Chains A and B, each alone.
Chain A
Amino acid sequence: MNALLAIARTEARLGFRNSWVLLSTVILTLFAVLLVLLGSGASGQVDAPLLSVSIASLSTLSVYLIPLIALLLSFDAIAGEIDRGTLQLVLATPIPRWQLLAGKFLGHLAVLSIAIIVSSGIAAALAIALDDQGGAQPLGDLAALTATSILLGAVFIAIGYVASASVRQTGTAAALAVGIWLAAVVLYDLALLGGLLASGEGVFARSVFPWLLLVNPADAFRLFNMSATDASLAQAGLGSVSGSPLAQGAWVLASPVAWTLAAILFAVVLLRRVRP
């Protein structure tokens, strides 16, 4: 267990020293603040706290940014250590391979969590400060967005390990990570939208489409955070799911949780086959 924590501590330390924490916090905060400011400009038309509006747009942004940051954090985890020769060293010690991976996961997740918590904290503070309507603030929604953002990050950190453990070169792992991001976050939704348009109100839209949305952890994240705000649902053109029972409740999150576990397990299996 000490070994696992030592790996986690080292990864977190490297996250700080290599400016990963700083960089991802700055990027997330920049976009979040921008969205809040945009929301405050339009707040005259919407009868809701600025924070609510901001949460809706933040969740849309997070779907793109967080998987990208998570993959960039993790794609190097195994292939990079093979490149540098440190994997031989680590695997020559008694640490079991699953602990190596679990340790890295904890460390990377800590790095990403710090960036997410700081950026959403700053954005929320700004939204509350700029809000001229007064009234209750949807702090619960904010907490849910932050927590699910971390979960979304966890999914893609784990998927990044799968990419990293299946190739020997960092460059290949990087290309694989970008491909995964494109497929999961951009192309998947485009394909679904295309299917939806093609099938109209058919079987696909009613019984297949919601499940397909759920299968993709990024869409599950979107569903969870959108069920609060109808406005953003319409925005994203995914309104047809809002009535479906699939869109309700925390169990939508079973998808990202399952993805995280499955990806970590798969990465461990791959790592066991690596010959450093």
Chain B
Amino acid sequence: MEGQHAMNASVDIRSVSKSFGAVHALDQVSLSVAPGETLALLGHNGAGKTTLFRILLGFIAPDGGEAQIGGLEAGSRQARRMISYLPENVAFPKTLTGREVVELYAALKGVAKSEAGQALEKVGLGEAASRCCGTYSKGMRQRLGLAQAIVGSPGILLLDEPTSGLDPLSRQDFYQLIADLAGRGTAVLLSSHGLSELEARASRVAILRKGKLVADGPLGNLQRDARLPTRIRVKTAPADVETLHREFGGRRINGASVEVTCDPDEKMAILAAIHQRPGAIADIELIPPSLDEVYRHYSACEPGKEVRS
């Protein structure tokens, strides 16, 4: 029983609330992650991300609502068999080697020892596995935590800010690894500070703001629904800049370009109009709203909607 991989398990959170004194860490949050899906949970510090993980692990009980893992009560031993967790801050004993750390967690999860080596290879710690983890860099320690989490291919991966210590390159490797696991049916729930860290790799994005779920959907939908303006940057001959600017508005840049800001719907019409006007167009650059802007749109605090200050 212990050695089985619990594949095809899902995470279900239904109207979960949790308060710490006057702080509403989670307020009626409903979320689900299906097998093979990667859900990125975003939010500022204090938005309630870690609290949600702790509820899913059964460390704390919600004040209201329920959290289920593969249809089982969160925190039960059966539920924990399906889960692997990587906490936000973890410091492994410095005198243990990377391999010893992963082998320990393999044993705790009832997974064969031999899988420890594979997990270490996958996160790129194969070479360093026999060194004490006290000698690891921050990024390597983060990857060791990840190796511990993926050992034995768990059915559900809960990762609390897994990319925070990683440089952009390791971050890409990390998302590749997650994509591989998700491709084999693992449900992944990971938290992050911002959208830009995701490298557009999550199949779905949920955003928490002060304990409330303010967005949940595929990244494309969030971008569309935010209705943030797109910028069109037109490069032309210096002599033409003036007329272009008079016709389309916007602002001039460097005396050779004009930048027009428009709603997503107007974009095609404006492009067509620019295309048809006389005069040489050297280049047209389309700048969609950045992920950071989209994230800020959802996570920014609107005065009046606040539950607490």
Whether B77 lies near A85 (C-beta < 8 A) is no
Q: In the complex, which range does the number of interface residues on chain B fall in?
A: 20 to 34
Q: Is the CB of A3 within 8 A of B59?
A: no
User: Does A192 belong to the interface (CB within 8 Å)?
Assistant: no
Stretch from A92-100, A126-134, A173-181, A242-250 that touches the partner:
A92-100
Number of residues from A at the complex interface, CB < 8 A = 24
Asked, given contacts A14-B95, A14-B96, A92-B83, whether A6 binds B107 with beta carbons under 8 Å apart, the answer is: yes
Residue among B54, B91, B93, B158 with the most chain A CB within 10 A?
B93
| Contact across chains for B96 and A276 when beta carbons are under 8 A apart | no
Q: Contact mask B250-292 → A, CB, 8 Å, 1/0?
A: 0000000000000000000000000000000000000000000
Q: Is the CB of B87 within 8 A of A89?
A: yes
Q: How far is the CA of A96 from the CA of B78 in the complex (A)?
A: 11
A168: interface (CB < 8 Å): no
Q: Which residues of chain B from 83 to 104 have any CB-CB distance to chain A below 8 Å in the complex?
A: 83-93, 95-96, 100, 103-104
Main secondary structure of the interface of B (DSSP, over half): mixed
A2 and B107 in contact (CB under 8 A), knowing A14-B95, A17-B96, A88-B57? yes
A219 to B137, CA, bound (A): 50
Q: Chain B residues with Cβ under 8 A from A84's Cβ?
A: 90-93
Number of A-B contacts (CB under 8 A): 76
Which residues of chain A are near B59, meaning CB under 8 Å? 88, 91, 275-276
Cβ-closest chain B residue relative to A17: B95
Measured CB to CB, the closest approach of chain B to A177, in angstroms, equals 20
Q: Which of A7, A10, A88, A96 contacts B96, CB < 8 Å? A: A10
Given A3-B110, A6-B107, check contact A86 B84 (CB 8 Å): no
* Residues from 77 to 108 in A contacting B, C-beta threshold 8 Å: 84-86, 88-96
Interface check A18, CB cutoff 8 A: yes
A84 to B133, CA, bound (A): 14
| Bitwise interface map of B from 59 to 85 toward A, beta carbon under 8 Å scored 1, else 0 | 110000000000000000100110111
Q: How far is the CA of A136 from the CA of B49 in the complex (A)?
A: 71
Whole-angstrom distance between the alpha carbons of A7 and B93 in the complex? 13
* Residues of chain A contacted by B108 (CB below 8 angstroms): 3, 6-7, 90, 93-95
Chain B, range 119-176, C-beta contacts under 8 Å to A:
148, 158
Point out the residues of chain B lying under 8 angstroms from A5, CB to CB.
107
Q: For A91, list chain B residues within 8 Å (CB).
A: 57, 59
Cβ contact within 8 Å between A85 and B89: yes
Complex Cα distance, B84 from A5, in Å, reads 20
Given contact pairs A6-B103, A10-B100, enumerate 17 new A-B contacts (beta carbons under 8 Å): A2-B2, A7-B108, A10-B93, A10-B96, A10-B104, A14-B95, A14-B96, A17-B95, A84-B90, A84-B92, A85-B88, A86-B92, A88-B87, A89-B85, A92-B80, A92-B84, A92-B158
What is B's interface to A at a CB cutoff of 8 Å?
Answer: 2, 54, 57, 59-60, 77, 80-81, 83-93, 95-96, 100, 103-105, 107-110, 148, 158
- What are 15 residue pairs bridging A and B, where the CB atoms are less than 8 Å apart in the complex? A3-B107, A3-B110, A7-B104, A14-B96, A85-B88, A88-B87, A89-B87, A91-B57, A92-B80, A93-B108, A94-B80, A94-B108, A94-B110, A275-B54, A276-B59
